[in-house]
Amino acid sequence: MVSFTENQGYIQEQQKFFNAAQPFPLDIFQSTINTIPDGVLECSCKINKHKIHANRFNLWFPNPNGPEQMNSVMRFFAEVEKRGNFQLNRNLLNQFYMPEFDWSRLRHFAFGVDIREVISESRLKIWFVLRDYPERKEKAIKLHGDNSAIRKLLFHNEIIAGFDFSFDGRNIIKLYLDIKKEELANEHIRNQLSAVLNPVSLQLLKHAHWLHIYFSDNHKGPVLQFHTTEMETFFNLLPNKEAQPFRKLCHEKNIGCSIFAFNEYELQQREIQNWSFYYMPQSTKQNLFLF
């Protein structure tokens, strides 16, 4: 398993590569991940109208061990609130996560930070990867808001419920629906996808071995997360100046697999203004359960 020291090093390496500052509450996040064993660090960048936001890090637990991890995350939230002198909105989480929550029906659990220069735009995040947990799946769908597109994409019993806690008081839930490689080869599933996704997105699926789709009020249409080893295909969708730092990052860090997240509307318009890049550092390859 990855050591505390390695996880801290990966954060520092990304900050150095993108010349990112050390903002609040990254220091609290770093202190927290030193107290929770068995976590695997995921690094991420959000590119918004050509500006790179590089202080984005998540800690994933491949084998969730119960409420102890959640209690550690809640202590982290409380420390951020105390230092920042604000209150995070936990309304949606409190409706989803109950005392009787069955941790044995989670495949993975994670929490993270997305820190922006404008502090009110920053947020904390939590994900629950549900495995054969229909009661919580339906609760998540109800909290999010049910629709026909979501139902068409429910090809199996696994779903990710993600919660965003913005520093300005906003609180949203995202549903991540995934299509695995073997499902992409299924003719019935391909027909279902063609009723939801546009031809540009369907073409890109040929270069991905896994796809996550989520819906959010912040975007026109769904956001597609392509898990891929064919990274150059996706870099070629971007202006060279914008893609080049990430090509360099992949080369220097020997990153062989990553996630590209695009808004489907922007993909169709061939005018990508907002996208995200995710990777797990090289020495955690044995733990690439997400990739």
Do 254 and 211 form a contact (C-beta atoms < 8 A)?
A: no
Per-residue pLDDT of the chain (291 residues), as tens digits, is 677 789 999 999 999 999 999 999 999 999 999 999 889 999 999 999 899 999 999 999 988 988 999 999 999 999 999 999 999 999 999 999 998 999 999 999 999 999 999 999 999 999 999 999 999 999 999 999 998 889 989 998 899 999 999 999 999 999 999 998 888 888 888 888 888 899 999 999 999 999 999 987 666 779 999 999 999 999 999 999 999 999 999 999 989 899 999 999 999 998 899 999 999 985 445 444 554
Buried b (16+ CB within 10 A) or exposed e, 123-158: bbbbbbbbeebeebbebbbebbeeeeebeebebeeb
Cα distances (Å, whole numbers) of residue 177 to 151, 157, 158: 10, 10, 8
Residue 218, C-beta contacts closer than 8 angstroms, at least 6 positions apart? 172
From the list 173, 31, 176, 53, the residue with the least C-alpha distance to 121 is 53
From the list 51, 120, 122, 123, the residue with the least C-alpha distance to 276 is 51
Give, rounded to a whole angstrom, the gap between the first and last alpha carbons of the chain.
17
